[in-house]
Structure 1
């Protein structure tokens, strides 16, 4: 039987292995994970006696891949939606309501932005005048979101709206994030038709929700259905369930040191140097971060390896606090709060988990919230000890909300190099990577580096890789490498 090795046990690797196994039940699929656990940046921890995600905590429900994976894993009845998506935005030392109907902060509705009260009168006038300005010819090059928005609407819109929203997704800066990658629908409109950014953003959104039917609107738009979804007990249950129900083998604590092309397929060197185990395979899927993939591709596809070596990544930390006995008015209403860089704080976002998700902390009688620290270039913040990070979060929480209560438990989760950056030109770079990888039959790549950092995007990337590997395998029943 053919053997396929999947390197990396995050959501992308698990999804690729699942898809290949289901399509080719005659194949031996082996997933190799260097750490003792699978799940990658999906991880939960017990804080204050309650289980809570300390990595990714939500997935886009508007894209089908994440929800479909949960359904296929048997979690359909345990999918949950936010109790509220109404969020706050720290603005000039005060908490304002995050404007509805924006595209990751790019204004799409002047009245909605004006009602939020976060922009100056001068900037609002500039936004209002933008459709009549120009001419705005079609875009020909990939530009950064920040540069485009600053050129059309002014730097205040970038600083106060776009940067905090993009920072929450990529832990990056708006002036270094590709429009084509971050907001592809908007980029496509501007590339085809040119014209007003305000009008193109408005055309990229669904119609506003009818009164009483919206989701509150903290995301890119106020929609009839919630934008996000999770799983009761933590989104981490998705990879846990995929692993528990796997029809492929999983080898944890198994590092892949090198992959070599052979006349019959591939040879993987596993384990510690100098004593290594050799594993042969007919096909390989690399579902690792860019830095690891770059190293493993050095001999197999050197052009792809060199391209991936240039991918930067941002580190971050999630600090979770558990409180007991908080009155309902202790924190502002809503799902959480975003904090622009210009506010001068080290926390970039706070999520009031027990207000955002049904049942979070209820069984243990605690209120859970989490704070995110770390943007690209701010590694110095994360070099502090855990107790220092907790102190920073508590001090800024009190400054922002007035809450001075002492938590009954805390947890610090660090994600070193956890978020790949998508600068202008990134998609063209990924095309070059895939073209170079495609020259090696039976080899494919997937993960957060390629098609987006969100869970649905990672799963979609895994499906692309799985399908390429499947297409390269001979039909069932044929001899592969001397095996049936």
Structure 2
């Protein structure tokens, strides 16, 4: 908790008793794992029928694949450490290839190196991707007065002002869109690229700020930038859930929480079947449901959370016979700038990116595309066949792949990714400040400190550690916790 934001001492949670975690996405599971490992009695309540949220394992043409997130940022330790803690360390795998392309101006062009989320440190690295005019415009950054970002700024607007719109439209937009499914002209630099934001405040030009971030990265611990799991990252939620139950925790599926109410001995957590008594609660659901649960006890936090917007997207997974498909372009796939007007926003050549997948299905070629982003969700309302058809059309134009797939799957992630506009971190601080005034309750998940899995795990650990710091391990009795 940010100490300068608290107007009064933090109230202590009632000691002992059950801790209820609402939501079994990766944040809720990570919080439950942390709590159970510290000796707390944990009950996880999940409205759906499975753990994991946007981490989902599935099959296509008989082979295991990810139907949601497929990798974690390895330079942050939280997700990798969680995987190792639940017995998946031997499955961690880096991508087989780190090269990718940008599909723009009707050609696949190599993804340039030497940038920070698309913001270049050396314009020459973008030759072939940008026009001569666009490259020349980047150089003007060195001639402009020192950069001013204030308390926050939209990364697209700031970079366009310093280096021109072309670098934003052709590189920053597709890279940020791949992470947030958002609009870089709205996305907060402070929230989405904090190291660059800090460097910009200390350096006179954006070019120098990018260089400073790159030099710091070069001094970091070597190793892969991203890691996945052999068999798919979708294996992680089940392993964490198993570890929670092995430590005495309980996970109840098909159990939506309808209301939260403060009581003298903690909290009443009402489901459609019963009301549980909890000494403490971790709310690990998206911002909208969290707002509804907190409305009665913290209208201030609920109001802030209700204002968080989300983007929806679909993933289209396709399997081809290698004999029919022929060779794909080298690399792990491609990104698509929205300015090019394509339907597909990105494609992953899964069989080339993940060696374990190629080994499991040597006769198959598995690809996936993503469709939809903030403000561009028209195709998400079409049926699966249409989404497959537009994906095949764009894949053919980008790669020459015209073979018919032997299997397809469409996975829809409605309201899947929270948006981080300018002022997002200030909003999060206000939410946490309001929630901190309530004893024994914390929030975590993708709506707060980052949409990536390590950031979600970190927010879960923060919430759990604050609960642990103000409570004691429970004394378990057979009928404790029910009314």
**Fold match (TM-score > 0.5):** yes
Contact 2:316 2:388 in 1 (8 A): yes
Equivalent in the alignment of 2:6: none
Counterpart in the other structure of 1:164: 174
Secondary structure class of the residue paired with 1:9: coil
Find the counterpart in structure 1 of residue 353 from structure 2: 356
What residue number does 1:288 align with? 285
Using the alignment, how far apart are the partners of 2:218 and 2:352 within structure 1?
22
Mapping 1:140-179, distance limit 5 Å:
140-179=150-189
Give the corresponding residue for 1:214: none
> Does the CA contact (< 8 Å) of 1:32 and 1:252 recur in 2?
yes
Aligned twin of 1:74: 87
- Aligned equivalents of 2:171, 2:213: Cα separation in 1: 18
State the secondary structure of the residue aligned to 1:462. helix
1:226-251 deviations in Å (ceiling 9; x for gaps): 21101000001111111122221100
* Structure 2 residue 194 is matched with structure 1 residue 196: no
**Superposition deviation, residue 224 in structure 1:** 5.3
User: In the alignment, what sits opposite 1:472?
Assistant: 470
Per mean C-alpha deviation after superposition, the further-off stretch among 376-385 and 175-184 is 376-385
Partner residue, 2:8:
none
- Equivalent residue in structure 2 for 1:395, among 376, 387, 393: 393
Q: In the superposition, relative to structure 1, how do residues 244 and 475 fare at CA in structure 2: closer, same or farther (>3 Å)?
A: closer
Q: Give the CA RMSD over aligned residues.
A: 2.1
Contact persistence 2:41–2:473 (CA under 8 A): no
> Using the alignment, how far apart are the partners of 1:410 and 1:423 within structure 2?
34
Q: CA separation in 2, counterparts of 1:135 and 1:379?
A: 39
Instruction: Tell me the CA shift for residue 206 of structure 1.
Output: 3.9
What TM-score, normalized to structure 2? 0.92
Deviations 1:410-431 (A, max 9, x none): 0000000000000000000000
CA–CA distance in structure 1, aligned partners of residues 474 and 85 of structure 2: 25
Give me the whole-angstrom Cα distance separating, in 2, the residues matched to 1:329 and 1:323: 10
Could you tell me how far apart the structure 1 residues matched to 2:192 and 2:121 are?
A: 16
TM-score normalised by length of structure 1: 0.92
Quote the offset at 1:13 in angstroms.
Answer: 0.2
Equivalent residues in 2 for 1:207-246 (5 A)?
225-246=223-244
Pick the aligned partner of 2:435 from 429, 434, 437: 437
The answer to whether the 8 Å contact 2:23/2:44 transfers is yes
Unaligned 5+ runs, structure 1: 211-220
- Of residues 25, 47, 72, the one that matches 1:34 is 47
Give how far 1:301 is off: 1.1
Residue 120 (structure 1) shift: 1.4
CA 1:102–1:328: 2 relative to 1, 3 Å = farther
Partner of 2:294: 297
Q: Distance in 2 between matches of 1:475 and 1:65?
A: 24
> Which of the residues 322, 326, 331 maps onto 1:325?
322
State how far apart, in whole Å, the 2-side matches of 1:230 and 1:351 are. Answer: 14
Residues of 1 paired with 2:74 and 2:147: CA distance?
A: 34
Cα separation, partners in 2 of 1:75 and 1:119, compared to 1, 3 Å: same
Partner-residue secondary structure (3-state), 1:360: helix
Preserved CA contact (<8 Å) 1:138 1:194: no
- The answer on whether the counterparts of 1:50 and 1:361 sit within 8 Å (CA) in structure 2 is no
Closer, same or farther: CA 424–482 of 1 in aligned 2, 3 Å:
same
Distance 2:281 2:371 in 1: 35
* Secondary structure of 2:133's aligned partner: helix
The answer (yes or no) to whether the contact 1:286–1:444 under 8 Å persists in 2 is yes
Do residues 186 (structure 1) and 196 (structure 2) align? yes
Q: Distance in 1 between matches of 2:480 and 2:49?
A: 32
Would you say the 8 A contact 1:101–1:107 is kept in 2? yes
Alpha carbons 2:18, 2:474 under 8 Å: kept: no
Counterpart in the other structure of 2:260: 259
Partner of 1:118: 129
Alignment match, 1:129: 140
